[in-house]
Amino acid sequence: MGKLYAELDERLTKFIARQSVFFVATAPCLSADGDGGHVNVSPKGYRDTFAVLGPRQVAYLDLTGSGAETIAHLRQNGRITVMFCSFERQPKILRLYGRGRVVLPGEPEWQGLAGRFPGTGLGGNPASRRAIIVADLDRISDSCGYAVPMMTLTQERDVLARSDERKSADELEAYRAEKNAVSIDGLPALSP
């Protein structure tokens, strides 16, 4: 049976810290009644890319990727859900619902938030850090997760880190300008 929580307590924070992957869901509103567009679910990984900032606030480090749906959707309507699944012996699914916002490098909040993500396995290229997503939570709930399989993490994938290490900051910026300017529905993401 699922349970609602008023805030992220110590037990839930420890659960989050143990997870090696989380999923982020967002959706655009392309019509006046809130319909339309593609719902997006993105898996996120790398240890130390998620932080609990307070009892009802979380953030994650958004790395350069092939799309920018989450950023576009948050800029349009702010709705976000983050989901953690336990792949360990004890089953659990934790969902964090809220309003998200995008913090870009160079913005006043960036330095303080970036310090929350010290060891991301990104090698020597901090230019891989495209944004930080901050979510203020309005609903925190869990459910059983009985159908989620038990799995063991053998290692984190280093493909993104190795790829980004081969690129200069200017090359990463050019990539984002080409691939991350708009969402698949044409909403502005990282466009100027």
188 in any annotated domain: no
Structural domain contains residue 190: no
pLDDT digits (tens, 9 = 90+) for 95-138: 999 999 999 999 999 999 999 987 655 555 777 889 999 999 99
pTM (2 decimals)?
A: 0.93
Does residue 191 fall inside a structural domain?
no
Domain holding 91, by residue range, is 3-179
Instruction: Flag whether 58 is in a domain.
Output: yes
Closest by Cα among 7, 8, 128 to 61: 128
Q: Are 12 and 94 in contact (CB under 8 A)?
A: yes
We report the CATH number of the domain holding residue 33 as: 2.30.110.10
Number of domains in the chain: 1
* pLDDT, average across residues 143-150: 92
